[in-house]
């Protein structure tokens, strides 16, 4: 018996606004412990970093389309150390590439998908007044902020930001410039942020769900965030350990990852040696594989909610989707070395990782198939969130299917580290996850602001983005299959076999710049609608999940009276019901 008991009945969740002394500006908007404010802070930060990371790529795409050409107008802004005479140096390309990856993954997608949507929607969707640990929630955001500042600051140190890929492989990263040290410190802040967030999400989901909200009555979005939190909790610490060891190698001269007698620029290094360079790869990918599921699962959760709502039908195969999700989460921890097939692990271990990788594709396919079948016989409403959600399905399909030859070690041999890999993972994250996140913004914007975003601008945003995404990434499969390596600053100009595919880089680049233009209607819409969007009440989408019972926007404490769940999350088109939806929170 280890616990002090005293089981009191749960307190009614009364909006306490009238009883609190009015908090000052700083406590209300900057150092807030309210999950909704923190969620918006994460979302805005994530969106800004997505834009910045996109900017880095737009620069890179210049040298890929027109290798060696001077960049007109803005080329002179980057100084002689990076773009002498407006032409890109390879080191600058590497800096842009490493930081593009790092920023998009750790400062863009995860803060928006998990920190933003998770924080804002999850407590509302389970009928909770806030997260279980509001102060820790606030700390987790500020850790992210510090990590972001560190990463941005690293551009200004001598030698520039990290340049050894977002994967920071040793021994290259060990001998890289100061920016790499900043990268490692930045990562420690970001990892801390995610760990604290994960603890909050898991505890909140288990403990603070409303009366009647059993696990199998959770909206799929809640399940997705729940599993994602476990991935973050258990997969990040090994990367933190690896980061500490790489810091020790760089700053204290240890040889965790350094062999003896490494020759750099003609000089033999004098470190003690005896380290294991592949150790870094194991520890990095132990995190980075579950990380890709962190990138996709919240998106699947968002798409599931929007599809159920806009087909006016329950999700098909909810139970299978949940079991698949949990199974996928578990399997994601034992597939990582499919990123290391070329490291000489021997056929037995390659076979092991190939097998687990093939097995993990099954739950992914189950979830995708269930979402597709959910459309059958639905009364589909083609609003902007639904358009993005619908597009997610084939885009994720392409991304997922093209992962299969990468996961089989024989076919990985010619494809490893080529543009094929870039195309594969961008399909899943860019027209995959990012489309899902955009869908989520259009969908939950009215809950957060009390106003709808403009549909016309939304549809322009959608059509332009969809076309451009495919223009950018589809040619990369072709380039990759021709054998062109990734991370070449000039797209392979020096290689004969790359010549027939060079023109595709021009297509991808113009697609990228056009994609940027098509984000303008979104950005304008986002800000314009705050003041001028159509005003709505609690449930403009006629949705069934609990967040739609709260006022738009919800007050501190969220609900006027404690919600209760009376049924499953997707009771749409129930035969005999008065409306085409019966909300989860409405007593019969």
The residue from 169, 333, 495, 513 that contacts other proteins (CB under 8 A) is 333
Report yes or no: 124 and 39 within 8 Å, Cβ to Cβ. Answer: no
Distance CA 202, CA 191 (A): 17
Among 143, 283, 423, 482, binds other proteins (CB under 8 A): 283
Angle between helices 90-102 and 35-65 (to 10 degrees): 150
The DSSP code for 85 is G
Which lies closer to other proteins via its Cβ, residue 273 or residue 377? Answer: 273
The residue among 527, 528, 224 whose CA lies nearest residue 363 is 224
Minimum distance from residue 102 beta carbon to other proteins (Å):
20
Give the distance from CA 322 to its chain's centroid: 20
Establish if 18 lies at the interface with other proteins (CB under 8 A).
Answer: no
- Told to check if 254 binds other proteins by CB under 8 A, we report yes
Q: Which is nearer to other proteins, 173 or 438 (CB)?
A: 173
Q: Write the CB contacts of 483 (distance below 8 Å, at least 6 apart in sequence).
A: 414, 418, 497, 498
Distance of CA 432 to the CA centre of its chain: 10
The contact mask relative to other proteins for 541-570 (x = CB under 8 A, - = no) is: ---------------xx-------------
The CB density around residue 388, as the number of other CB atoms within 10 Å, is: 29
Min dist. Cβ of residue 201 to other proteins (A): 10
Q: ∠ CA(136), CA(34), CA(134), 5° rounding? A: 25
Omega of the bond prior to 171 within 30 degrees of 0, cis?
yes
Q: Which stretch binds other proteins (CB under 8 A): 12-20, 95-103, 158-166, 527-535?
A: 12-20
Q: Which region, judged by CB under 8 A, interacts with other proteins, from 95-103, 143-151, 163-171, 239-247?
A: 239-247
Q: Which stretch binds other proteins (CB under 8 A): 56-64, 281-289, 412-420, 569-577?
A: 281-289
Give exposure, 96-134, as e/b (b: 16+ Cβ within 10 Å): bbbbbbbbbbbbbbbbbbbbbbbbbbbbbbbbbbbbbbb
Q: Which is nearer to other proteins, 346 or 575 (CB)?
A: 346
8 A C-beta contact, residue 435 and residue 392? yes
* Least distance from other proteins to the Cβ atom of residue 166, Å: 19
d(CA 448, CA 39): 10
Q: How far is the CB of 234 from other proteins (least distance, A)?
A: 5
Q: Which is nearer to other proteins, 3 or 21 (CB)?
A: 3
Least distance (Å) between residue 376 CB and other proteins = 36
- With binding defined as CB under 8 A, does residue 133 bind other proteins? yes
Phi/psi at 451 (nearest 5 deg)? -135, 150
The residue (of 226 and 443) whose beta carbon lies closer to other proteins is 226
Closest to other proteins by CB, 227 vs 393, is: 227
Return d(Cα 239, Cα 244) in angstroms, integer.
Answer: 8
* 8 A C-beta contact, residue 36 and residue 120: yes
Q: Which segment (65-73, 182-190, 234-242, 539-547) binds other proteins by CB under 8 A? A: 234-242
Residues in contact with other proteins, counted by CB under 8 A, come to a total of 70
Contacts of residue 531, Cβ cutoff 8 Å, sequence gap at least 6: none
Contacting other proteins (CB under 8 A), which of 44, 152, 169, 282? 282
Q: Does 175 bind other proteins (CB under 8 A)?
A: no
Collapsing DSSP to helix, strand or coil, 483 comes out as coil
The two three-digit tokens of residue 550, written as one number:
């709260």
By CB under 8 A, is residue 286 in contact with other proteins? yes
* Residues 457-516 contacting other proteins, CB under 8 A: none
Query: If you compute the radius of gyration of the chain from its CA atoms, what whole number of angstroms results?
Result: 24
Residues that bind other proteins in the complex, under the rule CB under 8 A: 1-8, 10-11, 13, 16, 20, 129-130, 132-134, 136, 195, 198-200, 202-203, 206-208, 230, 233-238, 240-242, 244-245, 248, 252-256, 271-272, 274-276, 278-279, 282-283, 286, 330, 333-334, 337, 340, 343, 345-349, 352, 556-557
């Amino acid at each position: 018996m280890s616990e002090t008991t005293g089981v009191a009945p749960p307190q009614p969740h009364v909006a306490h606004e009238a009883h609190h002394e009015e908090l000052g500006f700083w406590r209300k908007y900057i150092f807030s412990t309210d999950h909704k404010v923190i969620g918006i802070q994460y979302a805005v930060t994530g969106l800004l970093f997505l834009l910045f990371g996109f900017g880095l790529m737009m620069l890179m795409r210049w040298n890929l389309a027109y290798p060696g050409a001077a960049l007109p107008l803005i080329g002179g802004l980057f100084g002689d150390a990076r773009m002498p005479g407006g032409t890109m140096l390879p080191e600058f390309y590497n800096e842009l590439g490493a930081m593009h990856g790092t920023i998009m993954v750790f400062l863009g997608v995860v803060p928006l998908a998990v920190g933003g949507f998770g924080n804002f929607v999850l407590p509302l969707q389970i009928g909770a007044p806030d997260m279980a640990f509001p102060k820790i929630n606030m700390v987790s955001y500020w850790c992210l902020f510090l990590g972001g500042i560190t990463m941005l600051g690293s551009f200004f140190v001598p030698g520039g930001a990290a340049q050894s890929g977002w994967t920071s492989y040793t021994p290259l990263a060990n001998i890289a410039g100061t920016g790499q040290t900043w990268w490692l410190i930045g990562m420690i802040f970001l990892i801390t942020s995610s760990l604290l967030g994960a603890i909050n999400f898991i505890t909140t989901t288990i403990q603070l769900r409303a009366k009647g909200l059993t696990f199998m009555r959770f909206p799929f979005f809640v399940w997705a965030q729940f599993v994602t939190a476990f991935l973050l909790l258990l997969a990040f610490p090994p990367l933190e350990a690896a980061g500490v060891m790489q810091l020790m190698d760089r700053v204290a001269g240890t040889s965790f990852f350094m062999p003896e007698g490494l020759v750099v620029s003609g000089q033999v290094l004098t470190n003690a040696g005896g380290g294991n360079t592949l150790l870094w790869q194991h520890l990095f990918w132990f995190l980075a594989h579950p990380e890709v599921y962190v990138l996709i699962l919240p998106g699947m959760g968002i798409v599931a909610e929007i599809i159920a709502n806009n087909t006016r039908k329950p999700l098909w195969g909810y139970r299978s989707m949940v079991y698949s999700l949990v199974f996928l989460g578990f399997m994601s921890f034992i597939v990582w070395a499919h990123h290391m097939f070329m490291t000489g692990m021997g056929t037995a271990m390659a076979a092991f990782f190939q097998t687990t990788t093939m097995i993990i594709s099954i739950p992914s396919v189950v979830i995708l198939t269930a979402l597709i079948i959910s459309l059958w016989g639905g009364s589909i409403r083609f609003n902007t969130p639904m358009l993005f959600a619908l597009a997610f399905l084939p885009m994720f399909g392409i991304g997922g299917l093209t992962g299969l030859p990468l996961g089989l070690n024989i076919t990985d041999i010619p494809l490893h580290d080529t543009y094929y890999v870039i195309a594969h993972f961008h399909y899943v994250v860019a027209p995959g996850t990012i489309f899902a996140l955009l869908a989520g913004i259009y969908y939950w914007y009215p809950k957060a602001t009390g106003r709808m975003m403009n549909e016309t601008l939304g549809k322009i945003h959608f059509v332009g983005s969809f076309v451009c995404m495919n223009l950018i990434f589809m040619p990369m499969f072709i380039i990759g299959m021709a054998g062109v390596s990734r991370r070449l600053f000039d797209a392979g100009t020096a290689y004969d076999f790359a010549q027939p595919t060079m023109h595709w880089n021009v297509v991808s680049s113009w697609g990228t710049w056009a994609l940027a233009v098509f984000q303008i209607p979104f950005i304008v819409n986002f800000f314009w609608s705050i003041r001028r969007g159509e005003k709505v009440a609690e449930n403009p989408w006629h949705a069934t999940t609990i967040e739609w019972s709260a006022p738009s926007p919800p007050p501190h404490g969220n609900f006027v009276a404690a919600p209760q769940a009376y049924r499953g999350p997707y009771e749409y088109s129930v035969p005999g019901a008065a409306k085409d939806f019966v909300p989860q929170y409405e007593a019969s």
